Amino acid sequence: MQLLTGKVAIVTGASAGIGCATAKLFAREGAKIVAGARRQLELSTLVAQIEEAGYSAVSLAGDVRDEAFAKALVELATNKFGGVDIAFNNAGTLGKMGLSVPDISLLDWEHTLATSLSSAFLGAKYQIPAMLKRGGGSLIFTSSFVGYTVGFPQTAAYAASKAGLIGLTKALAAEYGPQKIRVNALLPGGTDTPMGRTFANTPEAISFVKGLHALKRIAEPEEIAHDRHGVARRRGNLRQSHLSAGKSTSRLAQMKVSYSSVFDHTAGQVWAVIRDFNSYPVWVASVSESHIEGGKAGDAVGAIRSFEEYGTRIRQRLLAHSDLERSYVYESCETLGAITYYQGTARVIPVVDGNRALLEWSVTFDCPADQQANCANSLQDAMPQWFKSLRAVLVE
CATH number at residue 16: 3.40.50.720
Total domain count, the chain: 2
197 and 65 share one domain: yes
Cβ-contact 224, 18 below 8 angstroms: yes
Check residue 200 and give its pLDDT.
Answer: 55
Q: What is the pLDDT of residue 125?
A: 98
Residue 2 lies in a domain: no
How far from chain centre, in Å, is Cα 264? 32
Say if residue 291 is in the same domain as residue 353: yes
- What is d(CA 372, CA 369) in angstroms, rounded to the nearest whole number? 5
Predicted pLDDT of residue 236: 37
Do both 353 and 281 map to the same domain?
Answer: yes
The residue out of 209, 225, 250 marking a domain boundary is 250
pLDDT of residue 195: 54
Q: 211 and 125, same structural domain?
A: yes
Q: How far is CA 251 from CA 86, 164, 238, in A?
A: 21, 30, 12
Of the residues 158, 280, 328, 342, which is catalytic? 158
Whether 171 and 245 share a structural domain: yes
158 assigned to active site = yes
Would you say residue 138 lies in a domain? Answer: yes
Q: Please indicate, yes or no, if residue 130 is contained in any of the structural domains.
A: yes
Instruction: Please list the ranges in the chain whose pLDDT falls under 50.
Output: 213-215, 227-253
DSSP conformation letters of 245-281: -----SSEEEEEEEEEEEESS-HHHHHHHH-STT-HH
Q: 37 and 98: one domain?
A: yes
Please enumerate in sequence order all residues whose Cβ is within 8 A of that of 239, keeping only pairs 6 or more positions apart, or say none: 230, 331, 341, 343, 366
Same-domain pairing of 335 and 362: yes
Residue 204 has what pLDDT? 62
79 and 43 inside one domain: yes
pLDDT digits (tens, 9 = 90+) for 383-396: 888 899 999 999 87
Last residue of a domain, one of 250, 275, 301: 250
Q: Note whether 207 and 223 are same-domain residues.
A: yes
**Could you give the CA distance from residue 294 to residue 292 in angstroms, rounded to a whole number?**
6
Enter the pTM of the model.
0.55
Residue 134: how many other CB atoms lie within 10 Å: 16
Q: Mark whether 193 and 261 lie in a shared domain.
A: no
Query: What pLDDT is attached to residue 344?
Result: 87
Residues in the chain: 396
**Strand 327-332, strand 86-89: pairing:** unpaired
Give the structural domain span for 320. Answer: 254-395
In a domain, 1, yes or no: no
Neighbours of 207 (CB within 10 A): 11
